[in-house]
Structure 1
Amino acid sequence: MMKGQALWALGTMSGTSLDGVDAAMIRTDGHEIFEFGTTAYRPYTDAERATLRAALGRWPGEPGVAEAAEVVETAHAELLARFTGADLVGFHGQTLAHDPARRGTHQAGEGALLAEALGLPVVWDFRSADVGLGGQGAPLAPFFHHALARLTGAERPVVFLNLGGVGNVTWVDPSIPDPDKPGACVAFDTGPANAPINDYMRLRLGKERDEAGALAAKGRVDARIVRTFLTHPYFLKVPPKSLDRNDFHTLLKSVRTRTIPNAVATLTACAAAAVAAGFSQFPSPPEAVLVSGGGRHNRTLMKMLADRLPCPVKPVEAAGLNGDMLEAQAFAYLAVRVLNGLPTSCPETTGARMAVGGGQVSRPTVPA
């Protein structure tokens, strides 16, 4: 592979919602996106999901982590073996713990094992270098969002909002050609999104999610709980900033005496309120918010966002993009940037002291 040439990269994402593994191919030189390729999804089984959930919040060497890593590696190897034509893989792994201020960040899964299984170079461990330079290690999709904004012809600032277990936003000014230049991107985690809703549904009803927001639509929001939620010190922090999936674990306790529909409605309102709170931290108002991730399928959450935000809120499909695969595509894009020695984050996106190219490259002993 020649540096700087357009490559077919295969990216993966296993998010904090713990639903499964997304994989997607794109052709890129790490600057422009030339083509979107095939995609696939492998859900975790109930047993696999339980293993991952049991390891949340744990660090390498702690109980359950090795078992979680094996689940991640096995699921990825099975899914990625379905693809042909890839030049390299961008493997995110599964975030189990994230504490950049103290202990660092922990994504389970060994990229070197995948490289041997697939016979392809694998770029992985995307976040550690950023954390080592004082960054949050998250979010990491902003440079890809910048490329997407330019690809779709945006001329004024636009916001990409990902609603996974945790919500994150990227404010993009597409008039600035390079994503690591001052003013091109501002990014941060907004707050909890699907994780509290999904956890509550599992605990109370044995279901993985509030499908399409149907239960929240029947409930009444407890405005007092939402107001208290917004007093959390996180919302006063200046970006860049990031969260662990369980940083707002007390949110479930706050709704425990409410009826199930009212509790789910209130948790959904908290997710929307967190996004709205972040708008005050953008350099200028965006012309639209483009939503990706599982949360965009929650019609109640999307309506709450539309009611709270001062600009149109649309799923990214309105811009011709695939909202289920955006993060997997992002790690395909970042893998090529790593291979080409380009930065993957910068002070404005993660708070790192300088632009940094995260990720390490593992090559197979016997290429495919």
Structure 2
Amino acid sequence: MRVLGFMSGTSLDAVDMAILDTDGETLQAFGPAGERKLTEATRALVLAATEAAKSWLRGAPEPAEFAPAAEAVAREHFAAAQGFLESYGLGWKEIELIGFHGQTVLHERPTPERSGRTVQLGDGALLATLTGVPVAFDFRTADMAAGGEGAPLAPIYHLARAQASGIARPSAVLNVGGVANVTLFSQSADPLAFDTGPGNGMIDLLVQARGLGRYDEGGRLAAAGRVDQAVLAGYLAHPFFRQPPPKSLDRYDFSLDAVAALSDADAAATLVAFTAEAVRLGLDAATERPKVLIVSGGGRSNPQIMRAITERAGCEVVAAEAVGWRGDAIEAEAFAYLAARTRMGLPISFPGTTGAPKPMTGGRIVEP
């Protein structure tokens, strides 16, 4: 199938798009990839929905902010893809399936007392109507209903991509988005995957909260600061880091309160160190230390994050492009691949990636 995959991360920066030719198992061809920045109007609606989600009690009616945000996300993705396809001389008739992740506004991992809860806003039926193409969406709900973490979901694609590239094991793929997640490949065991800790998200929130822009461009703010070791130790004392994988996080699971008294530069430097130390702890969970760590996502464009991870990883650290991958498109490619697996009835989550009780299918498909 020729599948268009979408991803819009918790950084609320852009809609990422990528086209794959795949049967949900092998990767036949890579089509074009691109992005379009989110409009301020959609960003505002999603931020309002995110704030409402923070105080949404279980069993209570869905917040009123969800529906307009879901419609706006669908229309935003349609507009982004319309221009994207036209720029490559393609039309909707050449796309057989769409993988639509939607916009995460809530992610609560399961605990022994309760199941998890996750919300990705995006009107799949509206997107199918606008495009005339079947849409696979709602990829996380079934896994969480079965007791899984609902995240990360990209590992099965990381495996296919690594196999297609002939990446030798032991190795690992690290995606640094709002939250960072790692997929570990050993020579003898099934892949192990989990969220390691914050990625770019806390740094973005810090910069935005202090009126310094949308993100720390080029890592310049962090480069001028010094790590506060006491604050870093406090963050790393969080019980999340003592829990065994698989495990998942929400972008807001860690507060900026601990860096409130620090200067802008010192706060940014400390949060970079937090991201990197969390990655180190994640790699320590591997049954075999990876020989190479392949880094994708927006975080690989921050030199300070890459430097800090390289110092701590205990293995070679390379950006995705060094092995011929499209570092900004991996997540969009992944949801194209997951859409194909959903169409073919293949599992998308596994005991070693989300803690699901068995390999599980997931996602729903809505026809135009």
Q: Which amino acid aligns with 2:39?
A: T
Query: In the alignment, is residue 96 of structure 1 matched against residue 109 of structure 2?
Result: no
Query: In the alignment, is residue 37 of structure 1 matched against residue 31 of structure 2?
Result: yes
Q: Greater CA deviation, 324-333 or 41-50?
A: 41-50
* Preserved CA contact (<8 Å) 1:186 1:348: yes
Q: Greater CA deviation, 286-295 or 201-210?
A: 201-210
Percent identity of equivalent pairs: 46
Q: Greater CA deviation, 100-109 or 29-38?
A: 100-109
> Which of 320, 328, 335 matches 1:316?
320
Matches within 5 A, 1:48-87: 48-56=42-50, 58=53, 61-82=62-83, 83=85, 84=91, 85-87=94-96
Q: Which amino acid aligns with 1:184?
A: D
* Preserved CA contact (<8 Å) 1:24 1:40: yes
- Distance between the aligned counterparts of 1:137 and 1:209, measured in 2? 27
Matches within 5 A, 1:299-310: 299-310=303-314
Matches within 5 A, 1:163-178: 163-173=176-186
Question: Which structure 1 residue ranges, 4+ long, deviate > 3 Å from structure 2?
Answer: none
* Preserved CA contact (<8 Å) 1:149 1:172: no
Query: In the alignment, is residue 13 of structure 1 matched against residue 22 of structure 2?
Result: no
TM-score, length of structure 1 as denominator length: 0.92
SS across alignment from 1:348: coil
Consecutive unaligned residues of structure 2, counting only runs of 5 or more, are 86-90
SS across alignment from 1:81: helix
TM-score, length of structure 2 as denominator length: 0.92
Shift in Å, 1:224: 1.2
Matching residue of 1:184: 190
Q: Which amino acid aligns with 1:47?
A: A
Query: In the alignment, is residue 353 of structure 1 matched against residue 357 of structure 2?
Result: yes
Matches within 5 A, 1:89-168: 89-101=98-110, 102-168=115-181
* Preserved CA contact (<8 Å) 2:171 2:185: yes
Matching residue of 1:325: 329
- Distance between the aligned counterparts of 2:324 and 2:21, measured in 1? 17
- Distance between the aligned counterparts of 2:277 and 2:46, measured in 1? 29
Q: Which amino acid aligns with 1:29?
A: D
Q: Greater CA deviation, 21-30 or 63-72?
A: 63-72
Q: How many residues align?
A: 349
Q: Greater CA deviation, 78-87 or 103-112?
A: 78-87
Query: In the alignment, is residue 243 of structure 1 matched against residue 249 of structure 2?
Result: yes
Q: Greater CA deviation, 259-268 or 44-53?
A: 44-53
Matching residue of 1:292: 296
**What per-residue deviation string (whole Å, max 9, x for no partner) do you get for residues 15-57 of structure 1?**
0111011010011111111111011211112332222122215
Consecutive unaligned residues of structure 1, counting only runs of 5 or more, are 1-6, 177-182
